[in-house]
Amino acid sequence: MNKKLLGVLISIVALVGILSGCGKKDAAEADKNEVKIGYFPNLTHIATIIGLENNYFAEEFGEDIKISTKTVSNGGLFMEAMATNSIDIGTVGPGPVINYFVKDPKYHIVSGAVNGGAVLVASGHSGIDELADLDGKKVAIPVIGSTQDVMLRKALQDVNLKAKTNGGTVDLFAAAPADTATLFIQKSVDAAATQEPWGYILQNQAGGKLLLDWEDFAWGKESTNTVVATSDGFLQNKELVTAYLKAHARAVQFVRDEPEEAQALVVKHIKGLTGKELDKAELEAAFSRIEVTTEVNEDVLQEMADISQEADYIKTNDIDGLIDLNVIKEITAK
């Protein structure tokens, strides 16, 4: 090969390297300029909904940050989206976060969002009058390993019952909350551990009977239903994390101060997403079963991990490092 040709090839290789480097830099800059927020289109994600509707996120992030959103129907899908960088931060049940954390400790809970909001409802045909009557029955849960799944297992312990998968007699059946009313009417399940507003709908549209209200189900008012979760990559950018959590704290305070307006905004938001308008009476009743908060009960989350390990969902109950409340505590202390 002559020297002239060799020189051309070296120049081409160098140019490709420079262009590749520029491409990586541009991608990194693009990532910094967009925040991808995830949540479920239901009442227990009210803080995120209010943060979006009242433009709290936009105000706290500023004009230079683009906000995109992704809605999912269950915690497993949420965590999958976070694992593939389709979600940076958002609200989800603690159960799925725990399940992912023990496999890869890069996921973190950085704030509370909603306590309660979950109930246990028996179908009218089931003959179930008390918790012990779940022996031999089929109970719907949103998804295997979900927060409501773990809460149900906690409740079953109180009456010495277990799920079939762990040698017991209670059959846990995964079904989307929106489908449980149909399952009740078709007599396909005997009960459901579900979040609001689906619990109220089961009672009033599918002939259900409230077996355990939110104050009595699992850990009661301390039952951590929804949290703010993120991963190491996003958590390292304290400016963005602080902006998100400031907006989140503002949304929580708004819900506490203006409950009726908050409910109206939720109705508007969910209708915009699904085309369906929540009944006002359903929403008011369901709203009375939740408590918005930025606090996290770490003892409850540890017990959730213990139960998940017993259910063979996770191999260890060691969740040291899962919870990082430093930023939200700084914000709420001011």
Provide mean pLDDT across the span 55-66: 97
pLDDT band at 32 (very low <50, low <70, confident <90, very high): low
Give residue 50's region: left, alpha or beta (phi > 0; psi -120 to 50).
alpha
Q: Is the pLDDT of residue 20 over 90?
A: no
Q: Which of 4-18, 127-141, 160-174, 175-189 has the lowest mean pLDDT?
A: 4-18
pLDDT at site 290: 92
CA gap 323, 302 in Å, rounded: 10
Paired tokens of 76: 């497993």
Same fold, 42-116+225-333 and 118-221: yes
Q: Which of 32-36, 45-49, 56-60 has the lowest mean pLDDT?
A: 32-36
Torsion of CA 199, 201, 204, 206, to 10 degrees: -100
Q: Is the pLDDT of residue 274 over 70?
A: yes
Q: Is the pLDDT of residue 225 over 80?
A: yes
Q: Which tens digit of pLDDT belongs to each residue from 91-136?
A: 999 999 999 999 999 999 999 999 998 999 999 999 999 999 999 9
Paired tokens of 197: 């507003």
Sequence-distant (6+) residues with CB within 8 A of 289 are 116, 117, 119, 196, 199, 200, 213, 214
CA gap 99, 199 in Å, rounded: 25
Q: What is the DSSP letter of 170?
A: B
CA gap 154, 201 in Å, rounded: 24
Work out the percent of the chain whose per-residue pLDDT is above 70: 90
Provide mean pLDDT across the span 288-295: 94
pLDDT band at 31 (very low <50, low <70, confident <90, very high): low
Domain definitions of the chain by residue range: 42-116+225-333, 118-221
pLDDT band at 2 (very low <50, low <70, confident <90, very high): very low
Q: Which residues pair with 180 in a beta bridge?
A: none
Decide: residue 8, CB within 10 A, 0-12 exposed, 13-18 middle, 19+ buried: exposed
C-alpha neighbours within 13 Å on the C-beta side of residue 42: 28
Residue range 42-116+225-333 forms a domain whose CATH class is alpha beta
Paired tokens of 300: 């409850």
- Give kind and range of the element (H or E) at residue 161: none
Residue range 118-221 forms a domain whose CATH class is alpha beta
Provide mean pLDDT across the span 221-246: 95
Q: Is the pLDDT of residue 3 over 70?
A: no
3-state secondary structure of 141: strand
CA 131 distance to own-chain centroid: 26
pLDDT averaged over every residue in the chain: 89
Number of helices and strands in the chain (H, E): 14, 11
Residue 79: Cβ within 10 Å count: 25
Cis (ω within 30 of 0) for the bond into 41? no
Helix boundaries (H) for 92-186: 94-101, 147-157, 180-185
